[in-house]
Amino acid sequence: MSDLTLGNISLTRVVESDDPHLVPTAVFPDWSEDAVAPHRGWMEPRHLNDKGHLVVVIQSFLIRTPHHTILVDSCGGNDKERHGSHFHHRQWNWLDTLAAAGARPEDIDFVLCTHMHVDHVGWNTKLENGHWVPTFPNARYIFAKKEWEHWQQLATETQLPRTGNYIADSVLPIVEAGRADLVESDHEIETGIWLEPLPGHSPGLVGVNLSSGGGRAILCGDLMHHKIQCHFPDWSTNFCTDQSAARTMRRSFLDRHAETDTLVYPAHFPAPTGGRIERAPADVGGEFTFTFLGE
């Protein structure tokens, strides 16, 4: 069953993990207990658990149209060497979750990565006879050219010491297999589905716009990780390549979509993930707020 239907486009969440595992100060350098205190009523336990860990969902989005089946972002993946991080040598049942959503790997026409962080590229490949091979045998993999160029260079220069070189096992095998389409950041996949540049969190972060039947939605990737960033748009994360640019882009995005009918799907928000941006009432605090579908 889909989570959203817009005309002839359906969207289904495919969750890999929803385990709260991040300490707020490890994510947000501007985190302040005084600033957060008025918001704890809505934060706990849905967005902040009783151990003080942020709820940050790791998930993909399955998009179906009459013409294509598209997977947006591919989570952390299995069997990956990730230096003891949350994604180290995991054995997720994500492929079963994908099957439950009605798709097999061979059904996917396009895999699109909104950006190339470790938790968005993992299932691009799977371990087969000691080699990393494309998980989706019939898919073209869509990467923003600017994003690929940045991470290819950085991985070569540094080997990405914080997580391990996930580009080497989850992106480079796709490129070497000739399965990658390096596109501009406003690329149109088909009528009603197109990319939009949202740089800041990473240099080539893209959103995915959906428009059909008079409805509109956008998957905005890691433009924001947590609902608290709607209230405090200036709070960028320690994972942002450029915190200042991320701050500017997030504020512009929130202002543009506030009080509109556009449904916004940030990559890491908990179920049902999608909702609308609104101006925050004075008694709520902060600048914007996020109202989930069904609320």
| DSSP characters over the chain | --SEEETTEEEEEEEEE----B-HHHH-TT--HHHHGGGHHHHTTTTB-TTS-B---EEEEEEE-SS-EEEE---S-SS---TTSTTTT----HHHHHHHTT--GGG-SEEE-SS-SGGGTGGGEEEETTEEEESSTTPEEEEEHHHHHHHHHHHHHH--TTT--HHHHHTHHHHHTT-EEEE-TT-EEETTEEEEE-TTSSTT-EEEEEEETTEEEEEEETT-SSTHHHH-TT---TT-S-HHHHHHHHHHHHHHHTTSS-EEEETTPPTT--EEEEEPPTTT-SSEEEEETT-
What domain range is 46 assigned to? 13-292
Does a structural domain hold residue 161? yes
What pLDDT score does 1 carry?
66
What pLDDT score does 246 carry?
98
Does a structural domain hold residue 1? no
What pLDDT score does 88 carry?
94
Residue stretches of the chain with pLDDT short of 50: none
Does a structural domain hold residue 83? yes
Does a structural domain hold residue 129? yes
Q: Please tell me the pTM assigned to this model.
A: 0.97
Q: What is the CATH number of the domain that holds 199?
A: 3.60.15.10
Does a structural domain hold residue 2? no
What pLDDT score does 21 carry?
86
Q: How many domains does the chain have?
A: 1
What pLDDT score does 48 carry?
96
Does a structural domain hold residue 258? yes
Does a structural domain hold residue 84? yes
What pLDDT score does 212 carry?
98
Does a structural domain hold residue 8? no
